[in-house]
Structure 1
Amino acid sequence: MPAPQSLERQLLLGYVLPIVCLGVIMVLTLSAFRASQQGTALISHTSDVLAQLQRLERQEDRAVIAYQQALISWDVEDQRAYQEAREEFHRLWLAVYANVGDDPVQQARLRAWDNHFRTWDETVVQPTLRTSGTNGLPAPPDLRPLRANEAIARALHQTQEQLLEQQWTAAQHSTRVAYWAVLLGLPLAALLTWRLGHNLLRRIRQGTQPLILAAERVMEGDLSARVPVNGNDELTRLSRRFNMMASRLQNVVSEQRELQHTLEQRVERLVQDTTREIQLLGQLGTFMQACHDESEAYDVICHTAEALFPGGGEVALLSASRNLLTVQLQWGFALPGPEVFGPEDCWALRLGQPHAAHAGLSRPHCQHDTSGQPTLCVPLMAQGDTLGVVTLHFETGEALELARPLAQRFAERVALSLVNLRLRATLRQQSIRDPLTGLYNRRYLEETFTRELARVQRRRQPLSLLMIDVDHFKQHNDTYGHALGDTLLRRLATHLQRFFRTEDIVCRYGGEEFVVLLPECDAPQAQARAEALRRSVENLAVTSNDAEFVALTISIGGASWPDHATTPEDLLARADAALYRAKHNGRNRVEFEPIPGAAGLPD
């Protein structure tokens, strides 16, 4: 079969040769580009080393100048300036030494430079500075140990400059290789691709024109279109397969039209039967997401269940102890059963799957079901947890079997919605409560502070803020352990909740710091309350593991609106500054921000 082989060979050449050419160009270009990148990095590194060497030389000169100034003045500040210059020299030397880690010769020169500097410092500078001001006029500085460093610095510079020149030459060479590879390779690849593609296109066009015309007729609906078959190459075989496909398609289309008519009838009935159920389940999910608590959710579930299962039913949920189920809602005309029953009274909960009982099945009724009707119990399960059970009543066993899938979807939607509702409530509490102390956390303070400030502004009332810090808390932790530290924080948190008013907001700000918002409380009142709190905390104590009583004291800083600040951020900052003064002035005390323009406030 020469024709198929010829067409196949041209196809292979048309794909393979351009890909090979482009691959070679790409390899050469990438290799040159990678070499250029490496060369650029080496040039940058060498330039950095040269710059560091220059800074090192200048720093050595600064050290010498500082030493000469110290010899002239014998001043402590000049001596300190020399010490700082010496430390900076060593820091720069370490940086240069690390950057020439790949060159042992350069490292040896740097070590010699450092040894000369250290020798000069230890044998000349330090003895001279220790005898400062005791020998009359200063002796001229001895710089002989440093003279060898000039030659070392020149050698370092020459080596790095030679290396930089070599790296620059290599980078230019890599760039030229990439340039010529792209400049010559791409036109050659394009020319080769055009030539092969042109020959292949001419060959294919001769065989595809009849096939295209026939395909267009089929697309327009004329399934009787056929392609003339001449020859024995790939296009001829494709034409033959097209004719077979058109014949089969003609038969399939006629069969599909009959099936489509039947399917449309079935789909119409199915849509009518399921649209209402889907709408009700979607409505159930939407309303359950908008519920604030479970009582609202029960009302939503009841309304949806009445529409989906008019035969009646009930929903019972497990208690927190998981040993009892309580009927939370009922609907329909089913006879009322027990309001409380155990999990062992329901076969669905015991089996972990839906349980149906009617005359057509040889299965027992659940003990909590007293209706005598065909009954289906479906466990409420979501995220691996069992919440309760849905009990549904039907007039016939056939109606029960038809409603099984719907009942399963209904139970899944109810269970998942209840789990999400409970999770939202739990997360809300966790997001605003500190887990250790049970107080409000910093997030709740940030949410509430602005609202409380706006409220007192509308009422034209003051607002005070107390910032409390446990004295020596880190020392208690280090001495008695973190368990006692946690006990101290919980004990203080309990005391704060009992001490302040219900409308006051007590928060754990972070670590051992607490913040208390006092609405409608001015600065003198807040200072008096803070002092009373401080004295009351002195009576608190916690016993350590060694039966040792650990005393508890606090420092308090306070500020008030509008006396000290106009925004929550400023008020916090003022209270924090006052707390800092309280701790700075000895701890176990109260400090309040002074009122601007006032003579002062009592301690």
Structure 2
Amino acid sequence: MMMPLRHLSPLRGFLAATVILVALGLYVVANAIQFASDYRWVTHTYTVIGHLERIESLKHRAVAESRGYLLAGQRASRDAFWRTSGELQREAKLLVEEVGDNVGQRRRAEGLRDALERRMKLSADAIDAWRPGLASLDEAMVARIRASDADLSRRLEALHRAEGALLDIRSRRAERSAWFVLLAAGIGIPVSLLLIGHAQRLLARENRTRKRAEAAASRSNAELQATVSQLAELSDSMAALSHYSSMLQGASDAQELYEITGSTFRGLLPGLAGFLYVIRASRDHAELVAHWGSPVASNDPAPALQSCWAVRRHAPFAMDELRHGMRCPHIGRPAGAGAVCGLCIPLSAHGEVVGWLSLQGEGQGAVPGASLAVRLCEQLSMALANVRLRESLRHQAVRDGLTGLFNRRYLEESLAREIARCRRRQQSLAVLMIDVDHFKAFNDRHGHAMGDAALSAFARLLRDSCRPEDIACRYGGEEFTLILPETDAAQALARAEDIRAGAALLRIGEPGAALLRITTSIGVAIMPEHGDVGLELMRAGDRALYQAKHAGRDRVVLADVAMAEPNA
């Protein structure tokens, strides 16, 4: 075996491996098609068996309903019998259609269908013949029913046996196809890999020999010095790129990215001035977030996206001379008489442009270090996209999507933190449990869109009424919670009354249409009077809220100490 491989040329090795892989692929595809066909037949058999089981279940149900009617004379049992009988006929018809490809099974299914019709007719005749006070059916009718039941059982058993035999055959056939595919892959792939590996080794040996010969013929002292210089420059660039990438990965927010970028470009490309633009979430214009160096030409601090050719072309755009040549509209004409070159590089990640970098330097032609700047921008693009994604996920984790308020998870974490902080300072803390009155009726009457608009409008009111240290949350549905640190009962009641009055003044609806209004009920709990644990305060606030609802809604109620006690 080793002698043929030793003398096998790389081309012949690749050709042999290609032929084996093509043959293996064709064989695997053919067996996969056969396996899919066998699997469909297995599924078909299970479908038929399912029909048989449903037919048997429906038959027993129909018989039970007819007997129930004959025993008790209840009209519900008779109606249930007719419904079940109809379902049984439809199921029998579907069974005949499913086994239409098998002559024997179709004949058995048709026989079963006819036997079911006869059996249902016997039950129907018995139901029609029933009269109040009739003790039992006549013996002839009972004998016919028993014979029909026995016939149905035989036919169902025959169909079950036939489908079971078909299932065994088809399952073995599918397993055989699968084993053939595995066997072909297990033999063909290693052989192909062996041939490819051997050919690759021969190619690598020939390439090494050729490169050594070419290097020996063309090597000179000047070229060697140039190569060493290029390698040193490349090594420095790669080291700087690696350091820049690691710094970006450690940045916690976008502002740190901008500071790291400005410092890195200032150190690696000292003769260039830079302007870093980030496209806003609205994607209507960009924003200048960082700049460094001494620019010769001014830059628009908030340009439109179409004002940069790099963004339009999704590729770096070089400007040999900003004074007379073509330039991006967001760059002004340079001051002074000297030539100025420029380069705009798009920041693209995941197929989307998130910003761009504009560089300019003195002189005409290409910007020095353009290739390094492009590689640095590739790292910046991914880091900026990752920071944006982290910020988006952080926002989604703690914010409610409809109202923009904090969610219940953030509420539970923040309440415990604020309670501990107020306890250390020996300050009180208030918890307001707020509910939009009759919101379900509002939703049912005006629609979910108007209900969402009402919740959003109230959330804006709640957010506008908050101090910087307050925490407004959507507790769930139409329920809201407001945490007021360092707030006593009098202040909390005043704040709650302001919120209630403000909610009553809200008007919801489209301009020109009938405007709707809402009211709110608010329960107020104070720490430490009603507890010093978040759950206790919220329960006390809930009880006060329910008291406000029972008292007529659209009001504020302060929890009392008895309501806050667990066993009260």
Same fold (TM over 0.5): yes
* Cα distance change on mapping 1:550 and 1:256 into 2, 3 Å: closer
Whole-Å separation in 2 of the counterparts to 1:152 and 1:585: 71
Whole-Å separation in 1 of the counterparts to 2:76 and 2:289: 80
Whole-Å separation in 2 of the counterparts to 1:343 and 1:180: 69
Q: CA contact under 8 A between 1:468 and 1:556: conserved in structure 2?
A: yes
1:387 aligns with 2:328: no
Q: Quote the residue 2:272 is aligned against.
A: 312
Whole-Å separation in 1 of the counterparts to 2:39 and 2:451: 62
Q: Quote the residue 2:19 is aligned against.
A: none
Whole-Å separation in 2 of the counterparts to 1:340 and 1:571: 53
Whole-Å separation in 2 of the counterparts to 1:324 and 1:43: 67
Q: Encode CA deviations 1:249-292: one digit per residue, 9 max, x unaligned.
A: 99876434324778997986654322321232233233334434
Whole-Å separation in 1 of the counterparts to 2:122 and 2:441: 49
1:330 aligns with 2:330: no
Q: Encode CA deviations 1:116-160: one digit per residue, 9 max, x unaligned.
A: 66997xxx8xxxxxxxxxxxxxxxx73469889967864663343
How much does 1:336 deviate? Answer: 5.4
* Cα distance change on mapping 1:459 and 1:113 into 2, 3 Å: farther
1:283 aligns with 2:243: yes
Gaps of 5+ in 2: 1-23, 93-112, 181-194
* Cα distance change on mapping 1:144 and 1:513 into 2, 3 Å: same
1:473 aligns with 2:439: yes
Q: CA contact under 8 A between 1:442 and 1:509: conserved in structure 2?
A: yes
Please give the TM-score of this superposition, normalised by the length of structure 2: 0.61
Q: Quote the residue 2:87 is aligned against.
A: 98
Q: CA contact under 8 A between 1:325 and 1:340: conserved in structure 2?
A: no
Q: CA contact under 8 A between 1:289 and 1:421: conserved in structure 2?
A: no
1:378 aligns with 2:344: yes
1:552 aligns with 2:518: yes
Which secondary structure does the structure 1 equivalent of 2:236 belong to?
Answer: helix
Q: Quote the residue 1:303 is aligned against.
A: 263
- Of residues 27-36 and 374-383 in structure 1, the stretch that sits farther from structure 2 once superposed is 27-36
| Percent identity (aligned) | 27
1:445 aligns with 2:430: no
* Cα distance change on mapping 1:100 and 1:578 into 2, 3 Å: farther
Q: CA contact under 8 A between 1:462 and 1:562: conserved in structure 2?
A: yes
Q: CA contact under 8 A between 1:543 and 1:549: conserved in structure 2?
A: yes
Q: CA contact under 8 A between 1:462 and 1:561: conserved in structure 2?
A: yes
How much does 1:473 deviate? Answer: 3.4
* Cα distance change on mapping 1:440 and 1:563 into 2, 3 Å: same
Which secondary structure does the structure 1 equivalent of 2:405 belong to?
Answer: coil
Q: Encode CA deviations 1:432-486: one digit per residue, 9 max, x unaligned.
A: 4456544334454355344435545666766554332222335445656667545
Q: Quote the residue 1:503 is aligned against.
A: 469
Whole-Å separation in 2 of the counterparts to 1:423 and 1:319: 15
Q: 1:284 is aligned with what amino acid?
A: Y
How much does 1:347 deviate? Answer: 8.3
Whole-Å separation in 2 of the counterparts to 1:562 and 1:274: 67
Which secondary structure does the structure 2 equivalent of 1:552 belong to?
Answer: coil
1:142 aligns with 2:123: no
Whole-Å separation in 1 of the counterparts to 2:38 and 2:517: 76
Q: CA contact under 8 A between 1:46 and 1:163: conserved in structure 2?
A: no
How much does 1:36 deviate? Answer: 7.2
Q: 1:357 is aligned with what amino acid?
A: D
Q: CA contact under 8 A between 1:341 and 1:368: conserved in structure 2?
A: no
- Alignment coverage as a number of residue pairs: 481
1:355 aligns with 2:364: no
1:48 aligns with 2:57: yes
1:170 aligns with 2:159: no
CA RMSD of aligned residues (A): 5.9
Alignment map for 1:30-45 (pairs within 5 Å) = 41=50, 44-45=53-54
Whole-Å separation in 1 of the counterparts to 2:299 and 2:136: 101
Q: 2:133 is aligned with what amino acid?
A: D
Which secondary structure does the structure 2 equivalent of 1:142 belong to?
Answer: coil
1:255 aligns with 2:246: no
Alignment map for 1:183-222 (pairs within 5 Å) = none
Q: CA contact under 8 A between 2:311 and 2:353: conserved in structure 1?
A: no
Q: Quote the residue 2:149 is aligned against.
A: 157
Whole-Å separation in 2 of the counterparts to 1:330 and 1:467: 51
Please give the TM-score of this superposition, normalised by the length of structure 1: 0.58
Which secondary structure does the structure 2 equivalent of 1:255 belong to?
Answer: helix
Q: 1:279 is aligned with what amino acid?
A: A
* Cα distance change on mapping 1:412 and 1:161 into 2, 3 Å: same
* Cα distance change on mapping 1:403 and 1:520 into 2, 3 Å: closer
Based on CA coordinates, which of the two structures has the bigger radius of gyration?
1
Q: CA contact under 8 A between 2:536 and 2:564: conserved in structure 1?
A: no
How much does 1:300 deviate? Answer: 0.9
Gaps of 5+ in 1: 1-14, 68-81, 125-140, 190-214, 220-241
Q: CA contact under 8 A between 1:563 and 1:595: conserved in structure 2?
A: yes
* Cα distance change on mapping 1:408 and 1:539 into 2, 3 Å: closer
Which secondary structure does the structure 1 equivalent of 2:554 belong to?
Answer: coil
Q: CA contact under 8 A between 2:258 and 2:289: conserved in structure 1?
A: no
Whole-Å separation in 2 of the counterparts to 1:93 and 1:462: 71
* Cα distance change on mapping 1:296 and 1:595 into 2, 3 Å: same
Q: CA contact under 8 A between 1:39 and 1:168: conserved in structure 2?
A: no
